[in-house]
């Protein structure tokens, strides 16, 4: 009848829509299969021809979750504590003490909001926040509000920067989302190079250009440190430069001796070495390594194992008093190797405040230096940066400028002339990959605060394929059994229900494709469960119809009554299951959300297909005079 024709058209529209949304998935599958069969030149030609279409299909297809595709999922948390610490001015000992307390408490109770802890600690010591943040007139509440805004802002900026980096790294369909106040969830399908990704995401990417301190100044400083540690008086008559030279010569001599005559390690050499250690404790650890014919570079060299010892020495308050206030120390990023393969790190003394920071970099490219065949990163600055750079280089010709990234020095070239083009270059990377990564993080900008990786999941692709196979097989088996059962138990009615069931699954997949949802392994389980729910709805209706026909109603009347009476039960029952799905979606993460999604879509689809679709089909059959039996 008329009303059924309307419903039928409605249903056909849905079917058409579902097929339309699922088509890209089918196309993408075909493309991948075809590409797999081709090799070499053929495959490149194929890609050229179909590239646009392939990209289109890939973007519109059903997304597979990480557990089906393989890939990485990383949860980053922005270290707001460091951010707050960096935002403070006029930091003094009181501030440092308070921050230590805040850090300790934040570690002890990780769930508590860092800003709340800060406020509590400051108030406990009755210190006003305006002493370190904002201006005197600002109340604690104002400052707290501003800190919170800064934090949120920082997290948003971090998210954009992460997105930039991931995009440039070249992942197809990455997903980057903010979670809560401080977290960023990054999903990278198909990626398995963990080291690379970690470093890509982790590095703060703070680029600084700092002037290297004059070696003449530093040698005096180093010498006084050395004397302090040796317990000698600080104004020893021996010239600092000479003693350094002597020590360096001694070291090279003894190394030479050891090299040339491995057999006879003369006792006297060893004794001389021990004496040198006692006389010059600092220089033994951090050797100037002065060449015979060159002037001293200004850098000290430390063996890999001694680095932390040198750090400790430099951190001592009595040593710090000997160091001029505007001098800071920075290690070189990459080790250097001696002839016999020992690893040494260079220590540079630089001016504490940076002349220029990475904010002025607008472009960075990783290339290979043709002269030395080493990887380099070429950088371009904006106009403001170019002016500054010209000024800095002009004022410091023949001096060295250290290029420092995340507090590690990559190179310290000598300024040859004033640079006006706003160009600069970083060298000193290990390989082309590192150069590439560096270029990416430079281009995307420095993170406003450091991020920690608090969760990382890597699924290899083979596990994903296995999971897909298992999921599909169990789905087919479950579906097959259900279909068979419905036909046997409910005869014609059962067949109708089966048709509705297939349409059901089609709808679920179609909706998933239309809303760009993600299918996970639990999601497939959700679809299988939907089959069960759909069966339930049909069973309710058919049992009801059987009951009604027993009471003597005509077939049409029984069908009518069956559908109407069963509806309240179907509605209530499925609504409760739907609510469960909503709650699960809200509280779950990742694959569990996939399950909740397919469950919810499935419930709606199965109610629709049971109540509307199968009824339309059955009534149409009756119109044509066929007898519909319900077993």
Residues 466-495 that bind other proteins (CB under 8 A): 466-467, 470-471, 473-474, 477-478, 481-482, 485, 488-491
**455 near other proteins, rule: CB under 8 A:** yes
Q: Where are the alpha helices (DSSP H) in 170-280?
A: 194-202, 215-230, 240-260, 267-279
Q: Which residues pair with 349 in a beta bridge?
A: 329
Considering the rule CB under 8 A, would residue 149 count as an interface residue with other proteins? no
The window from 21-29, 214-222, 294-302, 576-584 that contacts other proteins (CB under 8 A) reads 576-584
Structure tokens given for 269: 């050499």
Minimum Å distance from CB 491 to other proteins? 8
| Binding flags for other proteins, 58-87, as an x/- string (CB under 8 A) | ---------x-------x-x----------
Is 280 or 544 the residue whose CB approaches other proteins more closely? 544
Residue 450 touches other proteins, criterion: CB under 8 A = no
Question: Smallest distance from the beta carbon of 532 to other proteins, in angstroms?
Answer: 4
Q: How many residues bind other proteins (CB under 8 A)?
A: 73
Contacts of 159 (CB under 8 A, 6+ apart): 176, 178, 184
Binding segment for other proteins among 38-46, 407-415, 498-506, 592-600 (CB under 8 A)? 592-600
Considering only residues 458, 492, 495, 549, which one is a binding residue for other proteins as defined by CB under 8 A?
Answer: 458
Beta-strand relationship, 423-426 and 375-381 = antiparallel
Helix (H) or strand (E) holding 499: helix 461-514
β 63-64/518-519 pair status: parallel
Contact between 148 and other proteins per CB under 8 A:
no
Residue choice 132, 133, 344, 595 for contact with other proteins (CB under 8 A): 595
Q: What CA–CA distance (Å, rounded) separates 480 from 500?
A: 14
Residues 232-291 that bind other proteins (CB under 8 A): none
What is the rounded CA–CA span in Å between residue 286 and residue 311? Answer: 11
Can you tell me which residue has the tokens 């800071």?
A: 328
Selected binder of other proteins within 529, 610, 611, 613 (CB under 8 A) = 529
H or E segment and range at residue 539: helix 521-550
Go through 365-393 and write b for each residue having 16 or more CB atoms within 10 A of its CB, e for each that does not. Answer: ebeeeeeeeebbbbbbbeeebbebbbebb
E strand map for 508-554: 518-519
Residue 324 is a binding residue for other proteins (CB under 8 A): no
- Residue 424 as a binder of other proteins (CB under 8 A): the answer is no
Q: Which of 337, 572, 624, 627 binds other proteins (CB under 8 A)?
A: 572
* Per-residue contact flags (x/-) with other proteins for residues 169 to 208, judged by CB under 8 A: -------------------------x---x---x------
Question: For residues 586 and 583, what is the distance between their CA atoms, to the nearest angstrom?
Answer: 5
Instruction: Determine, following the binding rule CB under 8 A, whether residue 611 of this chain makes contact with other proteins.
Output: no
Report residue 487 as tokens.
């036909």
Q: What are the tokens at 7?
A: 């419903």
Q: Which stretch binds other proteins (CB under 8 A): 33-41, 401-409, 556-564, 568-576?
A: 568-576
Q: Is beta strand 300-303 parallel, antiparallel or unpaired with respect to 207-211?
A: unpaired
What's the CA gap between 306 and 333, in Å, rounded?
Answer: 16
Interface stretch with other proteins, choices 24-32, 395-403, 418-426, 455-463 (CB under 8 A): 455-463
Q: How far is CA 313 from the centre of its chain?
A: 36
543 binds other proteins per the rule CB under 8 A: yes
**Residue among 290 and 467 whose Cβ is closer to other proteins:** 467
Q: By CB under 8 A, is residue 49 in contact with other proteins? A: no
């Amino acid at each position: 009848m008329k009303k059924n024709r309307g419903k039928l058209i409605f249903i056909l529209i849905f079917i058409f829509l579902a097929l339309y949304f699922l088509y890209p998935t089918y196309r993408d599958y075909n493309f991948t299969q075809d590409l797999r069969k081709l090799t070499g030149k053929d495959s490149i030609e194929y890609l050229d021809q179909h590239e646009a279409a392939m990209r289109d299909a890939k973007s519109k297809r059903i997304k597979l979750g990480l557990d089906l595709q393989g890939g990485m999922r990383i949860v980053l948390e922005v270290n707001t504590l460091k951010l707050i610490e960096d935002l403070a001015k006029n930091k003094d000992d009181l501030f440092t003490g308070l921050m230590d307390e805040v850090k300790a408490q934040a570690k002890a109770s990780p769930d508590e909001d860092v800003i709340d802890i800060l406020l509590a600690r400051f108030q406990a010591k009755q210190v006003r926040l305006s002493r370190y943040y904002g201006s005197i007139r600002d109340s604690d509440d104002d400052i707290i509000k501003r800190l919170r805004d800064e934090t949120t802002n920082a997290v948003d900026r971090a998210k954009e920067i992460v997105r930039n980096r991931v995009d440039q790294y070249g992942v197809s369909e990455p997903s980057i989302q903010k979670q809560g106040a401080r977290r960023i969830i990054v999903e990278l399908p198909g990626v398995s190079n963990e080291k690379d990704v970690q470093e890509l995401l982790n590095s703060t990417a703070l680029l600084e250009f700092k002037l290297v301190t004059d070696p003449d100044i530093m040698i005096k400083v180093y010498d006084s440190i050395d004397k302090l540690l040796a317990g000698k008086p600080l104004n020893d008559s021996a010239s600092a430069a000479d003693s350094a030279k002597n020590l360096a010569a001694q070291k090279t001599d003894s190394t030479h001796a050891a090299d040339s005559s491995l057999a006879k390690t003369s006792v006297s050499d060893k004794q001389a070495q021990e004496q040198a250690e006692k006389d010059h404790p600092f220089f033994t650890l951090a050797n100037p390594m002065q060449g015979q014919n060159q002037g001293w570079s200004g850098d000290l060299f430390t063996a890999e194992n001694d680095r932390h010892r040198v750090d400790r020495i430099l951190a001592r308050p009595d040593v710090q008093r000997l160091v001029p206030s505007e001098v800071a120390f920075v290690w070189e990023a990459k080790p250097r190797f001696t002839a016999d393969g020992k690893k040494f790190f260079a220590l540079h003394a630089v001016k504490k405040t940076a002349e220029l920071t990475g904010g002025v970099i607008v472009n960075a490219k990783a290339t290979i230096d043709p002269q030395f065949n080493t990887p380099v990163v070429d950088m371009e600055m904006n106009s403001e940066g170019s002016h500054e750079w010209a000024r800095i280089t002009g004022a410091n010709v023949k001096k060295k400028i250290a290029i420092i990234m995340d507090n590690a020095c990559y190179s310290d070239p000598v300024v040859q002339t004033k640079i006006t083009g706003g160009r600069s270059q970083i060298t000193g990377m290990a390989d082309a990959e590192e150069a590439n990564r560096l270029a990416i993080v430079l281009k995307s900008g420095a993170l406003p605060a450091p991020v920690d990786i608090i969760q990382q999941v890597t699924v290899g692709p083979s596990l994903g394929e296995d999971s897909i196979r298992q999921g599909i097989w169990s789905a087919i088996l479950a579906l097959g059994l259900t279909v068979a059962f419905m036909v046997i138990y409910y005869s014609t009615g059962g067949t109708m229900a089966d048709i509705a069931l297939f349409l059901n699954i089609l709808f679920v997949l179609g909706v998933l494709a239309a809303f760009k949802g993600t299918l996970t392994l639990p999601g497939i389980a959700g679809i299988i469960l939907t089959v069960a729910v759909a069966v339930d709805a049909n069973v309710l209706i058919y049992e009801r119809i059987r009951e009604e026909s027993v009471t003597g109603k005509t077939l049409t009347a029984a069908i009518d009554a069956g559908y109407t009476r069963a509806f309240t039960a179907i509605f209530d029952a499925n609504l409760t299951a739907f609510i469960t799905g909503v709650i699960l979606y809200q509280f779950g993460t990742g694959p569990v959300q996939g399950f909740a999604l397919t469950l919810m879509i499935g419930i709606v689809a199965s109610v629709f297909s049971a109540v509307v679709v199968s009824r339309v089909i059955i009534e149409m059959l009756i119109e044509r005079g066929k007898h519909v039996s319900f077993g």
